């Protein structure tokens, strides 16, 4: 793995820097380009544009890649395939529950999730993958089916950009909707803080794995959640329920830390149990860890 601190473009992966870029599409481009520049050119990761073969045009394929010369000669529609192209589907599921609005370092988890989702979409789009998006909280808020058509990337990014923190997290309804609509095998990236029961996660994500989807869970955690540091008793108000509770510094610095680590471990264990990848992301850190994890995951599953 390449150390991000040594790369000259590493600051473009810093969430705080990205937050200054108002355009999410620009963010995605900056992230991916910066990330790619930092990588060694390697066919293993499939980012070259070298021609490999022709393949018959199928429904959902971008007509831009039809080789019209071949069509003129053979009267058949073929599209070019390039090295590293997998022609698979990526479904980005972004949790926009109220708890995702939490952020202690200037960038909320939802904002980070948007950057990550947009970057994944951009990266996949470059590889001609069909990209879809579902924004959900306790129900599906916005849904865009996977497609590789021209302009679909902008649509996905705009859908992500519109997401606002609202309500609580419930996976069952969005997941069942997802299963109803997506029948084709592909990649599913769930971006959430996973403040739900592990059993609920298991019940809702396992059917996806059974369906043949390759699932990666991007578990976003704010630094303030991972290691809070308070000097005096604080009255905390739950962003989802509004319930307030007074907590002592002693508890937050010790018992809470143990509890949150136990929860992360439980989520990790659950993901492992259903053959899904779990990536814990500290939203205070740059995005390259997430992107790297995604490429590893994609390479492993593709």
Partner 1 sequence: MSLITPLFLLGLLGLALPWWLHRLETQTTEREKFSTTRFLEASKKRIHVQRKLKYLLLMALRMLFLALLAFAFARPVFFQDPTAAVSEDTTHHVIVMDTSFSMREGDNLEQARSIATSIINNMGDGDIASIYAASTSVTTIAEPMPDGAELNRLLATVEADNGRLDLGAMISALNGLIEDSDANFIMHVVGDFQQSGQAVRFADMIPDVINGRPVTLDVQQVDTTVHANWTVDSVIIEDRSTVIASIRTFNAAAEPVQKAVSLMVNGEAQQTQTLTTIGNGVFLSQFDNVVFAEGDNRVNVSMSPQDTLAEDDVRYTVFDNSPPAPVLLLTSDPASLGVTYIKAALETAPRGYQVEAVNIADLDMRVMQRYPWLIVDDLGIVGTGLEAALRDYINGGGAVFAGAGPRSGSLTALPILGNQIDAVAASTRPAAQQITQIDTTHPALNDSSGWSSVNVRAIPFTLTPEDRVLVAQSARSPVLIERNIGAGRIMLFASSLDNSSSDLPVKPVFVSFISEVAQYLSNEKLLVKEQVADSFLQLTLTGGSSGQVVDPDGTSLLSLEDTTRDQDVQMNKSGYYQVFTPAGEVLVAVNPDIRESDLTLIPVQTLQSWQSIVAGTALETTNTLSTISEVSETDQDEVELWRIFLILLAAMVLAESLLGNRYLNMKTGSF
Interface residues with partner 1 (CB under 8 A)?
Answer: 99-104, 109, 193, 195, 222, 224-225, 232-241, 243-248, 250-252, 255-256, 259-260, 263
Q: Which of 142, 127, 92 is nearest to 113 (CA)?
A: 92
Indicate the residue among 199 and 250 with the shorter CB distance to partner 1: 250
| 56 three-class SS | strand
d(CA 224, CA 236): 13
Distance of closest approach, residue 139 Cβ to partner 1, in angstroms? 19
Q: Which is nearer to partner 1, 36 or 266 (CB)?
A: 266
Closest distance to partner 1 from the beta carbon of 83 (Å) = 42
CB of 104 to partner 1, least distance (A): 5
Closest approach of partner 1 to the CB of residue 155, in Å: 29
Q: What are phi and psi of 23, to 5 degrees?
A: -90, 120
Closer residue to partner 1 (CB): 77 or 104: 104
Compute the half-sphere exposure of residue 243: CA atoms within 13 Å on the CB side of its CA. Answer: 5
Partnered with residue 191 across adjacent β-strands are 94, 218
Minimal distance, residue 24 CB to partner 1, in Å? 22
The rounded distance, in Å, linking the Cα atoms of 115 and 175 is 22
Contact 64, 150 (CB under 8 A): yes
Smallest distance from partner 1 to CB 170, Å = 14
For partner 1, which is the closer residue by CB, 222 or 288? 222
Nearer CB in complex with partner 1: 22/235: 235
Measured from the CB atom, the residue of 211 and 227 that comes closer to partner 1 is: 227
Alpha-carbon distances, residue 2 vs 6, 35, 224 (angstroms): 8, 10, 27
| Per-position b or e across 66-100, b if 16+ CB within 10 A of its CB | ebeeeeeeeeebbbbbbebbbbbbbbbbbbbbbbb
């Amino acid at each position: 793995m390449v150390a991000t601190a040594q790369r000259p473009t590493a600051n473009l992966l810093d969430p705080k820097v990205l937050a200054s870029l108002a355009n999410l599409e620009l963010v995605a481009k900056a992230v991916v380009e910066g990330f790619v520049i930092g990588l060694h050119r390697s066919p293993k990761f499939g980012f070259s544009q070298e021609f490999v073969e022709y393949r018959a045009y199928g429904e959902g394929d971008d007509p831009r890649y039809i080789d019209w010369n071949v069509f003129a000669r053979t009267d058949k529609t073929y599209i070019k395939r390039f090295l590293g192209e997998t022609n698979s589907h990526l479904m980005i599921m972004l949790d926009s529950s109220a708890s995702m609005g939490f952020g202690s370092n200037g960038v909320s988890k939802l904002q980070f999730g948007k950057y990550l989702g947009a970057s994944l979409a951009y990266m996949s789009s470059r590889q001609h993958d069909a990209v879809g998006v579902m924004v959900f909280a306790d129900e599906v808020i916005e849904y865009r089916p996977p497609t590789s058509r021209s302009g679909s990337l902008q649509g996905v990014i705009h859908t992500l950009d519109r997401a606002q923190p609202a309500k609580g997290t419930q996976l069952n309804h969005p997941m069942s909707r997802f299963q109803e609509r997506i029948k084709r095998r592909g990649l599913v990236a769930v971006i959430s803080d996973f403040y739900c029961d592990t059993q609920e996660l298991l019940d809702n994500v396992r059917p996806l794995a059974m369906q043949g989807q390759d699932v990666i869970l991007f578990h976003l955690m704010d630094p303030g959640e991972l290691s809070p540091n308070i000097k005096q008793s604080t009255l905390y108000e739950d962003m989802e329920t509004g319930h307030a509770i007074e907590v002592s510094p002693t508890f937050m610095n010790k018992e809470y830390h143990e509890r949150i680590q136990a929860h992360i471990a439980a989520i990790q264990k659950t993901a492992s149990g259903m053959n899904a990848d779990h990536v814990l992301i500290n939203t205070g850190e740059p995005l390259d860890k997430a992107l790297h994890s995604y490429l590893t995951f994609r390479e492993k599953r593709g």
